[in-house]
Structure 1
């Protein structure tokens, strides 16, 4: 695949993940979009899907090789687990933990918070419980 097509597929994959489209995410992965990729702003599709709480897209991306602890953006958006925990997306948190996301990993960029700290900022007792059970 040439570099231009790869960039186009990467950009489309991040947008599909951001808009909550597991079907489109799957189609783009099958078309050759790399799961471990970034758009021009540095956003990863896994982070975008995690923030949206799209557990199906999160699982598809992880199955296709997206790394669960990669920070998104120019190190200002954070990790996928922090993004999902921040909004209380328990199903996305479950998927990320199942694929090895580190519940103790603090964001190096952005706020420096851990997933548990993010979950505790909101009324997300199920997310807090999942993270605590995972060793956060």
Structure 2
């Protein structure tokens, strides 16, 4: 697929994710939009869907081959999809990510940052904490208390 067309599809995909439009996301993925292509800032589509709490959109992206443990690198959008969903208490999105193989103990910042459980506990998202613990997440002490 031509680079220009792929860039246009990617832009539309990010717009559809931001608006929570699962039907458009599905159509764009069918039309050739890449579920892994980062935007110009380095944010992945799955990270954006996760931070927005769009569980259905996250599922569609992973069914189209988005990898659940790929770290996003955009300004203000750094981290893993599971950490993003856990941070905001998006329990349904956390469930989808775990169902598609997200590592419940994967720490952000190439392993040096907080885990999904750290984020959920810090935000007092008790339902999310329960789901993560049921998936085998472990809380481990960290030297620095702030993300």
**TM-score bracket for the superposition, by shorter chain length:** over 0.9
CA distance in 1, matches of 2:32, 2:46: 16
Q: Cα offset for 1:49?
A: 0.5
Higher strand share: 2
Q: Which has the larger radius of gyration?
A: 2
TM-score (norm 2): 0.86
What is the 5 A alignment of 1:45-64? 45-64=45-64
Say how many residue pairs are matched: 136
Segments of 5+ residues of structure 1 without an aligned counterpart are none
Q: Pairwise CA RMSD of aligned residues?
A: 1.8
Given the two structures, how large is their TM-score scaled by the length of structure 1? Answer: 0.93
- Give the structure with the larger helix fraction: 1
- Correspondence for 1:72: 72
Q: Following superposition, which runs of at least 4 residues in structure 1 exceed 6 angstroms of deviation?
A: none
1:8-64 residue CA offsets vs partner (Å, 9 max, x unmatched): 111221232123221221111111101111111111110000011111000000000
Cα distance in 2 between the residues matched to 1:74 and 1:36: 14
